[in-house]
Copies of this chain bind each other. A is one copy, B any other.
């Protein structure tokens, strides 16, 4: 494997654990199995390395969770999005925490929050608007609030489950299903109606 690649991987790893100040060049180089001098020869400075590493790490996983352009099976589609989004935030738990904390003194780091924000904006909220326009949920639902609620509970769970687990008596595996069930009821989506248009991608939701 390339030396640059090893350094980039080690940089995100150490940064997620120790933050910007705690991620020393010696530690990153050791983690990468590379001499510290090579780090500076390749990236010029610690800042250059960490910034490039975090940016690349964010870009790589921008589109893991997607939603269809035209809603067919809200229950299954929202469960799929919620599960993927939840697992993504859970997997990058520490990286997100570190980036959020360092974003103040290091504004370029805010990209990760911005990326997640625009992702939610352009997928979940747009989907919910189409859902409402298609008459598949209650017509008077506040879409912006609904979007914030679903993405918010997913974010809070993924960020806080390890810190205060007493708030989450259900496992991480079943959390998305529970949130989606609650959410569907909140926005007035019927338990699945088998429409004539499209069959259900997954038989995850039982019939009513």
Contact = CB atoms under 8 A, between A and B. Distances in A.
Contacts of A178: 142, 145
B103 A100 contact: no
A101 B154 CA distance: 19
Contact of A160 (B97, B155, B163, B169): B155
Q: Is the interface of A mostly helix, strand, loop or mixed?
A: helix
A139 interface: no
Interface in A132-190: 141-142, 144-149, 151-157, 159-160, 163-164, 166-170, 178-179, 181-183, 185-186
B149 A116 contact: no
B105 A18 contact: yes
A164 B19 contact: no
A142, A148, A170 pick with most chain B CB within 10 angstroms:
A148
B98 A101 contact: yes
A110, A149, A166, A182 pick with most chain B CB within 10 angstroms:
A149
A159 B110 CA distance: 13
Contact of A144 (B94, B104, B152, B169): B169
A48 interface: no
A110 B52 CA distance: 30
B19 A146 contact: no
A103 B22 CA distance: 13
Contacts of A125: 167
A117 interface: yes
A167 B148 contact: yes
Contacts of A110: 163
12 contacts: A98-B101, A110-B163, A118-B166, A141-B182, A142-B181, A142-B182, A148-B153, A149-B149, A152-B157, A153-B153, A155-B156, A183-B186
